[in-house]
Every structure is written in structure tokens, then in C-alpha cells.
Amino acid sequence: MFRVLRPNGIALLMTPVIEGWSQTYENPNITSTTDRLLHFGQEDHVRYFGSDIRDRITAAGFELETFVAIEPDVARYGLGRGAKVFIAQRPINEG
């Protein structure tokens, strides 16, 4: 995403995050749809992000803000209460 986003461009990122986990859970050996459903909660997912998601986003070069949905934004934007939207912006001048 960083490569294709123009400088100063913004990516809005939403993904399941388990804040109680310090590290993301990934296992490339889990490939069947049944096992992915069991391990990742959805057949087309390949990981559950932990609280290290922020480090992963900034390590890719993005500046990061987090938006947490509270009322009245929950109803206005159709978000779940407490849902997080990670706002990743590619800096104008990297490096």
C-alpha cells in the first residue's frame, strides 16, 4: 500500500484487532477454509492482528492516527461501538 499511495495520501484501514495480544497471530501452514475459520474467525483471513498492528503500520513508513467509534459517529458512519479505524498517511518527504 505504501508504494502505490501518493505522498500525503491516506489509507483507511479496518481489520480485526485483539488488543489483549501483544503480537499478531499468523500461521502460514493454515490454508484450508475450515482451519482459517477456526484460527482466524473468517475463511478468507490469514491472521489476527494484535496490538503490534500500530508498529507494523509505522514500520511500513506511514504516519498513523487511530479513530475509535463513539456516538454519534457509530450511527453516522455505520460502525460498531469501539471499532477502530487506522488512518495511515504516507508522508510527503520520506526518510
Q: Which H, E and C letters describe 11-52, residue by residue?
A: EEECCCECCCCCCCEECCCCCCHHHHHHHHCCCCCCEEECCC
Tell me the per-residue pLDDT of 1-21, one tens digit each, with 9 for 90 and over: 999 999 999 999 999 899 999
Q: Vertex 75, ends 73 and 78: CA angle to 5°?
A: 95
Max Cα distance, the chain (Å):
44
Q: Residue 26's beta-bridge partner residues?
A: 47
pTM of the model: 0.83
Domain ranges of the chain: 10-89
Please report which confidence band the pLDDT of residue 94 belongs to, taking 50, 70 and 90 as the band edges: low
- Show the cell assigned to 95: 526518510
